[in-house]
């Protein structure tokens, strides 16, 4: 199986190729320049592997939550490329990808959602090695996060960078430590997407839409900025 994956949910931009279990990943800190860097990074990944987009079995992307603008860019490019190459798309939670990339059993992932809020979700690693969501993803004040029972949780994500004290207090001693400066990786998007694709959860390009979590923007369609197919 061959899968091209990327994530644009944060100031990091990452791209990965998953080819029969082997992962090659590229990542850059791009700030707000996802529209300038994503397509060149995708082209570079394919060129270095000697592959074409048409040879992929699917396209996977981090659907959020995260930065509204960069999520719309990512979803638009996913739609455009998948339409052009007639590929199914596998949307993957960016919070889940962040959790998947940690060397931990229990992870509380949180992104800074601005307006004194975080996007947060708790994940536990299953016997398969994949992270499984506990409860639901939410957007809330740091003091209002939901955390399942049990100790030894690890905190990661920009929400912890911004609201560490509030999140530790809300966790009431159940979070053992936090790991700074962690971002979702496209390699972890690919790992999660492969299992979803095998389970029949690929979707048509029209359903490659961002997950904002905030209700007032959740029903806005993803834009499709001028996308071109990597050669």
Residue 226 domain-assigned (yes or no)? no
Residue 157 domain-assigned (yes or no)? yes
Residue range of the domain that includes 153: 103-179
Percent of the chain with pLDDT over 70: 93
Count of Cβ atoms closer than 10 Å to residue 40 Cβ? 11
Q: What percentage of the chain's residues is helix, strand, coil (to nearest 5)?
A: 35, 30, 35
pLDDT of residue 211: 95
CB 186 within 8 A of CB 25: yes
Q: Are residues 33 and 108 in the same domain?
A: no
Instruction: Please give the average per-residue pLDDT across 190-196, as a whole number.
Output: 97
Q: What is the mean pLDDT of the chain?
A: 92
Residue 225 domain-assigned (yes or no)? no
Q: How confident is the model at residue 214 (pLDDT cuts 50, 70, 90)?
A: confident
φ, ψ dihedrals at 18, nearest 5°: -110, 115
Q: Are residues 12 and 89 in the same domain?
A: yes
Instruction: Please give the average per-residue pLDDT across 205-225, as a whole number.
Output: 66
Name the more confident of 75 and 217. 75
Pairwise CA distance, residues 231 & 228, whole Å = 9
Position 205 pLDDT exceeds 70:
yes
CATH number at residue 19: 3.30.420.40
Q: Are residues 126 and 168 in the same domain?
A: yes
Instruction: Please give the average per-residue pLDDT across 12-31, as a whole number.
Output: 97
């Amino acid at each position: 199986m061959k899968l091209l994956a990327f994530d644009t949910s944060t100031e990091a931009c990452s791209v990965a190729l998953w080819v029969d279990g082997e992962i090659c990943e590229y990542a850059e800190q791009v700030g707000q320049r996802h529209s300038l860097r994503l397509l060149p990074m995708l082209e570079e990944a394919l060129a270095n592997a000697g592959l074409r987009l048409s040879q992929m079995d699917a396209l996977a992307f981090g659907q959020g939550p995260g930065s509204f603008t960069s999520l719309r860019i990512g979803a638009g490019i996913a739609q455009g490329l998948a339409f052009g190459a007639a590929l199914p798309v596998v949307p993957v939670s960016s919070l889940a990808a962040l959790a998947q990339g940690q060397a931990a059993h229990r992870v509380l992932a949180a992104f800074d959602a601005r307006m004194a809020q975080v996007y947060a979700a708790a994940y536990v690693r299953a016997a398969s090695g994949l992270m499984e969501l506990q409860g639901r993803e939410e957007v809330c004040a740091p003091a209002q996060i939901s955390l399942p029972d049990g100790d030894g949780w690890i905190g990661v994500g920009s929400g912890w960078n911004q609201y560490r004290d509030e999140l530790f207090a809300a966790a009431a001693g159940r979070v053992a430590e936090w790991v700074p400066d962690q971002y979702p990786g496209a390699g972890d998007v690919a790992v999660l997407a492969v299992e979803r694709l095998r389970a029949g959860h690929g979707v048509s390009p029209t359903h490659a839409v961002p997950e904002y979590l905030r209700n007032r923007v959740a029903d806005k369609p993803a834009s499709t900025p001028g996308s071109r197919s990597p050669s």
